[in-house]
Structure 1
Amino acid sequence: MKKNIIYTFILSSLLLASCGKELDKVNINPNATENAQPDYLLTAAIKNTTDAYWGTTNNMNSSLLFAQHWAKVQYTEEDRFIYSNSSFTALWSTLYSQSITGFNKIIEIGNNTDNPNYKGVALTLRSWSFLLLTDAYGDIPYSQAGKLNEFITPAYDKQKDVYFGLLEDLKAAKTALDPAGKAIAGDNIYNGNITKWKKFANSLRLRIALRIADREPAKAKQVLDEIKSDGDLYISDNTEIAQLIYQISPQQNPVSAQFDTRDDYRISKTIVDKLFSLNDPRLPVYASKTQTATPEEYVGLPNGLTNSEASNLGFAKTSKPGTYFLAAQSPAVIFSYAELLFDRAEAAARGLTTEDAADLYQQGITASLKQFGISDTQIATYLTQASVQYNASNYKKSIGEQKWIALFGQGLEAWTERRRLDYPQLTASVNTVLNGQIPVRFIYPGTEQSLNGQSYKNAVASQGADLLTTRLWFDVN
């Protein structure tokens, strides 16, 4: 606990420093350290980023609703897509002002102390941060971001250029990471295991290769060929999942913290119905039994209800998310082994590799079931069902639906993959305000219009109207 207080103080001191050299001389805080420690910075930056990824604003109150993993049982405006230009500020502000700034400082320290492993880890995590931003908003500041001494109003890069740049950044991160090199501290994901960080960096390269595959299949294949020719490995079992395992209060999982004081959310009827139809043994993991006994035991809430409709269904006869996800120490998954296997299956189905798509698809299902403690006997039974069999003629449906199930709780990633693969096919409530559409992007924070107005206008002119319904570059019909 003492370390959590120290690293929060150090990161706050660092990030509140003035961006101007003259102000730096005046604004010296005598209580702040002049030599930030990379281990404390790394611990803090990981937690801040993961909290933003897994927390209320970007997960529970938006992307989990868009993916129809969760639904709202009260204050249902967000489930009806009623948002303002202040609704999506948290991901932007946290990742730019805290995460990316912090990772840049760690990269600098790694260079100055001749410890490339700090650089490689920070570059990997910075790439993940930029990926979250571009997946959500589209065109974003990238090449000029985090360079306040040079660019007070950074330009927005096109999404294609961001993806291409991140592929190069992750390649550089992979090269910098050396298991035989200097040790690092403060790593609360892999505890300093550099081999696992290399695997994570390569797994992110695969994720991005598939992001661009509909638009740039040749580039996607080139990336996968490079990984193969270098003899690099991906995340290779459930013990290598990239995740932050939380502690007890006040450092608990953001979902647990939310449910400590509020009761706004239920599991969506859409995914409960799908799990019932597949006899899926993950149902009692993903959902809690209704407080008042019901014949079904697990009852999902339809998305997009009005407040009165939700109130009529009631709190006691609809299911909260499962206790696995409500526990204080529940892990916030960043990249699972199941996702990696589904990615490899898709790459094979697209002809980008020569692997066996059907076999990898089954391995992906198995890995997800094992991740949530399902027994081998139950797994074998599940895989024999005709409804679970791989359909080579429509790989996007097979992989998309099973990946959507496996990504439960990872709202931003599940939403992005559904947009990309177009499965599962979801239907918006008649109560929503987008004429039957489900949001396909976050709108930019209103502060961008006032603080970075010209860059914002240029981005809108290039990408399209700043609306929830404007498709992003990667999201091909």
Structure 2
Amino acid sequence: MKKIYLYTISSALIFLGAGCNKIKDFGDVNNNPGATVTPIPSALLSAVEAGLGGYASTGTEAISGGQYAQYFTETQYSGTSLYNLPQNSFTGNYGGNLNNLQIIVRLNPNKNMVNVAKILQQYIFWVVTDSWGDVPYSEALQGSANILPKYDTQEDIYKGMLTTLTTAINSFDSSPISGDLIYGGDVASWKRMANSLKLLIAVQMSKVSSVASLASAAAKEAVASGVIIGKDQNFVIKYPGSSYKSPWWNLYNGRKDFAESKTLTDYTASTNDARQAAFGGESEQPGNLNTSSVGVPYGLARLAVTAFTDANPKWARVLRGDFRLETGTVVLISAAETWLARAEAANLGWVSESVSDDFHKGLTESFAQWGVGSVPESFESQFKITAGPSIDNIKNLSIQRWVASYPDGHMAWNIWRKSDYPKLTPAPDATNASKQIVRRFVYSTTEYSTNSASVNAAVARLSGGDTQDSRVWWDVK
């Protein structure tokens, strides 16, 4: 039987003769059969960075998570928002971006290129493990040496991500980072990004008591070393248009399948949140400046939802039109998210900072990110943040993290599953047996046919088995 190298085959190995400094400089990313077949680390890095946006926008993990967390709902072909079986494959992540980054690691062009490659791998592994739970990690990306890697427990993956990030942060030197489209080779920026990712990972595991000391130490180290504190430092992909358009532009490219959910528009209306002016647009046309707060009722079957959109033609599209340009951006980690995560870490007693000060800075950065001015005192005063740990703090911090992370569905789904805030009502027209919101993706049939021993071992560790109702490791009741 032919063996399929699911975890090692690159979807698009890059063999180019020069490095890239901007997405527009990519040129032809296909292999030229007449050229010398030598992988170029700078081109590999550029290609991976150019494709990262999907993890926080319209990729399967993010667009599905955004529906489960009720940022979005479907307007044409209801399925994901009705909790159809999410039997998705993760192998494309391994054969594509993760493997291209591993090629950089193996080629070892210099210390900083390897550090950046490993940092980006941890970001991708984070999205993958949060979506499925246990997945290949320690034995992945080994090529023909191991084509059937074990599934590491999510606990071990989280520990591995923290260790890898810490090692990378502490081993940067003065060597160049070629092909870096995001930070232009700036080492200080990459350290801040890695520390911010480390902080977010630590906070995500905060409800697991057995690793509380590890998570606390990681958060404290990250903050002390320096995280993203202003929007100019955000971990963001900026698209030049033409062949490299923003995924948010592509969302409405000849289609209009998604809307901002009424769950979110109702919440922003109830708090008089100025960010709604940027969150929803009345037209799918890019550049249209008209906003909309007419959220589409969440989780309705096709006939019901189309009846609503037909009756309400100015229903809220995802993002106002000027945030959906071909030359738009995708934010993967923002200053708003890091300040609010710091506030949660402070509430847990992990860092010696003022919870309310960090909360205020998080709101301030979020309003600045969306260009809606300063935070009104009347708005912020609705959320009572006390000096010491409290249930109200957890509620208000979690809900504002949910709002500030829009439209990153991976982050929203993570926040809701961990905290149970905001309180969400499952889809009225849910099709799954439990009628409950999806808590994880189900392993694909391909895994059972090609790596059965490993996937079955992982399934045996799942309370409830390989179902969409089972919880990942950090999703503690």
Bucket of the pairwise TM-score, normalised by the shorter protein:
0.7 to 0.9
Q: In structure 2, the residue corresponding to 1:370 is in which secondary structure?
A: helix
**1:471 equivalent in alignment to 2:471:** yes
Match of 1:74 among 73, 76, 87: 76
Other-structure match for 1:380? 376
Pairs within 5 Å for 1:293-332: 298-315=293-310, 316-321=313-318, 322-332=320-330
Name the structure 2 match of 1:64. 66
How many Å separate the matches in 1 of 2:86 and 2:216? 39
- RMSD value, Cα: 2.0
TM-aligned CA distance change 1:382 to 1:373, over 3 Å: farther
Look up the match of 1:223: 218
Identity of aligned residues (%): 30
| Structure 2 residue runs without a partner (length 5+) | 1-22, 285-290
**In the alignment, structure 1 residue 152 sits paired with structure 2 residue 147:** yes
CA contact (8 A) 2:73 2:261 kept: yes
- Which of 48, 53, 57 is 1:54 aligned to? 57
Question: 1:422 — aligned with what?
Answer: 420
Distance 1:276 1:419, change over 3 A: same
- Per-residue deviation, 1:308: 0.7
State the AA in 2 paired with 1:83.
L
Aligned partners of 1:177 and 1:194 also within 8 Å: yes
Q: Is residue 85–residue 442 contact of structure 2 (8 Å, CA) maintained in 1?
A: no
Is 1:440 paired with 2:439?
yes
Runs of 5+ unmatched residues, structure 1: 14-28
Tell me, yes or no, if structure 1 residue 232 matches structure 2 residue 225.
yes
CA deviations 1:45-67 (Å, max 9, x no partner) are 1222333542253333x111111
Show the counterpart of 1:190.
183
Q: Which residue of 2 aligns with 1:277?
A: 270
Cα distance in 2 for residues equivalent to 1:118 and 1:300: 44
Partner deviation per Cα, 1:338-373 (whole Å, 9 max, x = no partner): 110011101110011111111101111111001111
Q: Which residue of 2 aligns with 1:21?
A: none
Deviations, residues 273-324 of structure 1 (Å, cap 9, x unaligned): 0110111101110011379xxxx95210111101110111124142212224
Matches within 5 A, 1:84-123: 85=87, 88-89=88-89, 92-109=90-107, 111=108, 113=109, 115-123=110-118
1:87-111 Cα deviation digits (max 9, x unpaired)? x22xx133111111011111223x3
Instruction: Report the counterpart of residue 135 of structure 2 in structure 1.
Output: 140
Alpha-carbon shift at residue 2 of structure 1 (Å): 6.6
Would the alpha carbon gap of residues 328 and 96 (structure 1) be closer, same or farther in structure 2, given more than 3 Å must change? same
Equivalent in the alignment of 2:288: none
Amino acid at match of 2:147: I
Secondary structure of residue in 2 paired with 1:121:
helix
Runs of 4+ in 1 over 6 A off after TM superposition: none
Structure with the larger helix share: 1
Equivalent-residue separation in structure 2 for 1:430 and 1:448 (angstroms):
32
Q: Which residue of 1 aligns with 2:18?
A: none
Q: How many residues align?
A: 439
Letter in 2 for 1:270: T
Q: Partner residue of 1:25?
A: none
Alpha carbons 1:252, 1:329 under 8 Å: kept: yes
Q: Determine helix, strand or coil for the equivalent of 2:468.
A: coil
How many Å apart are 1:194 and its aligned residue?
0.9
Whether 2:344 is the aligned partner of 1:346: answer: yes
Letter in 2 for 1:300: G
- The one-letter code sitting in structure 1 at the alignment partner of 2:390 is S
Matched ranges for 1:353-432 at <5 A: 353-376=351-374, 379-385=375-381, 387-390=382-385, 393-394=390-391, 395-432=393-430
* Deviation at residue 75 of structure 1 after TM alignment: 0.4
CA distance in 2, matches of 1:351, 1:2: 45
Shift of 1:389: 3.4
Report the Cα distance in structure 1 between the residues aligned to 2:409 and 2:105, rounded to whole angstroms: 29
Q: Distance in 2 between matches of 1:103 and 1:329?
A: 25
Normalising by structure 1, what TM-score?
0.88
Give the SS at the match of 2:237: strand
